[in-house]
Amino acid sequence: MTLETVLTSMPIDIETFTEADDEELSAVTNAERVVRFLYRNDDKAFTPSEIAEATGVKKTSIGTVLRRLRERDLLEHKGDYWAIGDERAVRDAFRFHRTMDALDERFGAEDLEEWRKHAATNPSE
Name the pTM for this structure: 0.65
The proportion of the chain whose per-residue pLDDT surpasses 70, expressed as a percent, equals: 78
Residue 87, pLDDT score? 86
pLDDT tens by residue, 61-72:
999 999 999 998
For residue 46, give the DSSP letter: B
Domain spans of the chain, in order of start: 3-118
> What angle is formed at CA 85 by the lines to CA 66 and CA 45, rounded to 5 degrees?
70
Structural fold of domain 3-118: Arc Repressor Mutant, subunit A (1.10.10)
Burial of 124 (0-12, 13-18, 19+ CB in 10 A): exposed
For the stretch 73-78, contacts whose Cβ atoms lie closer than 8 Å and that sit 24 or more positions apart, written own/partner, are 74/35, 75/34, 75/35, 75/38, 76/45, 78/45
Band the pLDDT of 9: cuts 50, 70, 90. very low
* Mean pLDDT across 72-98: 90
* pLDDT of 21 above 90: no
Q: What are phi and psi of 98, to 5 degrees?
A: -65, -40
Q: Which residue has the higher pLDDT, 55 or 15?
A: 55
User: Does residue 45 carry a pLDDT above 80?
Assistant: yes
Dihedral of alpha carbons 10, 16, 20, 24, sign: negative
